A and B are shown apart, each in its own frame.
Chain A
Amino acid sequence: MAVLDVRGLSVRFETHQGTVEAVRDVSFTLEAGQTLGIVGESGSGKSVTSLAIMGLVPSPPGVVEADAILFEGRDLTKLERGAMRKVRGKDVAMIFQDPMTSLNPLLTVERQLTEVLEIHGIAKGRDARDRCARALGDVGIPNPEKRLEAYPHELSGGMRQRVMIAMGLLCNPKVLIADEPTTALDVTIQAQILELMKELQRKHGTAIVLITHDLGVVAGMSDAVQVMYAGRVVERATASELFAQPLHPYTKGLLTSVPTIDGDPDHRLTSIDGQPPDLARLPVGCAFRPRCAWRVDRCEKERPPLAAVPGYEPRATACFESERVARGETPATAGGGR
């Protein structure tokens, strides 16, 4: 049984400027010990997806709707607040994007770590302190006993992210949601942190949802990848397949905008023309249509559903023209743009 099974998740924000459809109809499953990468540009709804799973979407203005979010068979959307709280932090933990701001600056590391154990009734006092020190040691922080007394501002960015990871793993959660865990870090530290997460996953069998806009990180970490655009999943595949042959125009655009080490230095990096759509005023058809080079008339009136691509099962895309994209044909319309 999948440890996490999300079905038909939608999140919208009711603002003064209108309703913002942040996430539409997102579904995925995650097995124990596996890593799912969710990729997309800013505002594509990947972070909101993770917050919705945790039940942390601020309401109002946020409204979360889902057919089900099953964690080990239990539907998290049907849980009461108290019961949900017990799952949060203990069974499903989360690591946030910015280690600079995600730790409370006014409390010591010890206080912030031990309270997780205390809240979930795992350990108290001396025992909790020892466990926390061990956890800090596990994530590679030297001299953990001393670090416990430090305040966040006395630690470097990498250290803080390690503290965050230690905090997330303190209760040995079944699912760890990591929202851009390495974005704020130097490249060398990034590699260390990712290596650390992989190692911990091997040790505890944790399932990881890795949210990032960094394709390199996804390539190195994930088993499966889900690409999001304008609140919807536009392509789903295993990591290796996706990188080898993108089937959605957007994915293709993303991949060609990344420099590769063996690429021709004279080759121009292409960017995707145009701007991401306004989530409050989504077009009727495909949201990517205005920027799409493969667009056809059909995309304007009809939104392509996420469906398996013939010949590439079980890979799925939300595009009518995936087969042509896969074949590497030239775009139907020249120039792109609007």
Chain B
Amino acid sequence: MAAPKKTGTDRTALDPARLEKLLAEAAEFKGESLWQDAWRRLKRNRGAYLSLWFLALFGLTSFLAPLLPLASPSALNLQIEPQPSRWPWAPSPKIDRATSPDAEAPAAFGEVATRSVGSLLDDGWQHRTFVDFTVPGEGPDRPTHFEGTPALAEIVRRASGREPLAFHKRSDTPGVHVERYAVVHRFADKPEKEGDVGLQDAVEEELAAARARGDLDTGAGPVELAGLEYLPGLWPDMPFFDRWMLGVRSWLFGFWEVGPLLGTDAKGRDILARIVWGSRISIQVSVIASLVSLLLGVTYGAFSGFLGGRVDNLMMRIVDVLYSIPFIFVVIFFITVLNAYRTDLEKINITRMTIFYLVIGAIYWLTMARVVRGQVLSLKNQEFVEAARVVGAGTARIVFVHIVPNVLSIVIVYLTLTIPAVMLFEAFLSFLGLGVEAPRVSWGLLAVDGSEAYSPIKTYWNVIVYPAIAMASTLLALNILGDGLRDALDPKMRGKD
């Protein structure tokens, strides 16, 4: 340092001791990724952290709903009034849910009987196959439950692996009558294909075998297979994994189910079960619709931001214009119009739920597009991108390491804020009778039930309050988590507090 003449490099050079010290100082500052930092800050936000856990727990419960020994959310029992809460150990009031087999003429021959006999409760998850034989001899005037012809019962038993229930009735053809053997399937073993009568081949095989053995030679006349009928349960299109979980449930708990912990509604349906099962559809609708909006919004916004200039201007103007359309009116109009095409659409696998996702997603993408576009636009020209380019990072690295994480954080925040909005919208549409339809149940429908459950004479609190609490706490948690995430991921807040 003492030499009078120095070169430029010397002047800025550090002596080794000093350099070492600086490096030691630098090492003390632990580098933190954006996500670590955000997670740390989220944890410090007690409300948001609690909300996160609450939502995780709730989501798990909702996902595992088929495993839980809950009553059916959709099985009606019109003979009882709304019931108050009852603990599982409290004695159950005797409610005769079973209709006697030969009471009124059943809706379908044997249906009511199998409902009541097939399980303690028809929980809507059961499927029935009816196997009809024409048998010589006269039958009873009214369809009646009987013990069955042993040989025929054996055929059905062998074909289905289950104990059938037998009924008989008169036939239009003189000299013969019809014997119907009903098999109740639990959850998992419904036919693979829609419209398929799963037992057809097996029954025919067994019948041929019985004939060959001579089991059917009674001398009265030939026994013929009249036909098979398959009657799907209320939840015919339950996905595989849910059916599997229902199977596990019946293995674990059998037919035991916890009583109406939160009471029942006016149609005798268990409120707790409805809340838990309803959450599945509400979560499903809101998450999928939010993802649709995310996909649309991010693509649109990113394109707009990347392209920039005149294209960007035009694209954003279109968003502005769409913002000022009262979308809900247009959407309701769309839904009603599309309902007219419903049967056609269902043929190509577009159900009402699909329309729902698409339509809701189509509304909520606007904000997302704006936010993403703004973010991309500002990131594109930021110094750190330039800096990355200067140190030789390729385009891919710039996009994935520098731009995507920054956009991702804001996208996640908006996702958590879109989900509650979509849930509300689902409730809104369900209230107007344009949303989810029975026997399915969603929180919107529960809220509608609640809004119909008050009257000056008697108000059924449990019908109103419990679904409202479930809905409010979930939406609240989502809102708090969204706000918390926004604070945690805000780059301006990094390193503070």
Contacts and interface: CB of A to CB of B under 8 A. Distances in A.
Interface of A: 266, 268, 337
A266 B4 contact: yes
Contact of A268 (B1, B4, B21): B1
B30 interface: no
Contacts of A337: 21
B6 interface: yes
B497 to A, nearest CB: 9
A266 B21 contact: no
A200 B431 CA distance: 72
Interface in B1-31: 1, 4, 6, 11, 21
A271 to B, nearest CB: 11
A314 to B, nearest CB: 38
Contacts of A268: 1, 11
6 contacts: A266-B4, A266-B6, A266-B11, A268-B1, A268-B11, A337-B21
A266 B11 CA distance: 7
Contacts of B4: 266
Nearest to A266: B6
Contacts of B1: 268
Contacts of B6: 266
B476 to A, nearest CB: 24
B229 to A, nearest CB: 70
Interface in B109-161: none
6 closest Cβ pairs, A-B complex = A266-B6, A337-B21, A266-B11, A268-B1, A266-B4, A268-B11
A18 to B, nearest CB: 14
A337 B4 CA distance: 28
A266 B4 CA distance: 8
Contacts of B11: 266, 268
A337 B11 CA distance: 22
Nearest to A273: B21
Nearest to A264: B4
A190 to B, nearest CB: 27
Contacts of A266: 4, 6, 11
A337 B24 CA distance: 12
Nearest to B10: A266
A206 to B, nearest CB: 38
A268 B6 CA distance: 12
Nearest to B1: A268
A263 to B, nearest CB: 14
A266 B5 CA distance: 8
Interface string B21-46: 10000000000000000000000000
Nearest to B18: A273
B157 to A, nearest CB: 72
A7 B437 CA distance: 77
A337 B6 CA distance: 27
A337 B25 CA distance: 11
A3 B4 CA distance: 53
Nearest to B12: A268
Nearest to B5: A266
A264 to B, nearest CB: 9
B256 to A, nearest CB: 50
A272 to B, nearest CB: 14
Interface string B397-426: 000000000000000000000000000000
Interface in B77-120: none
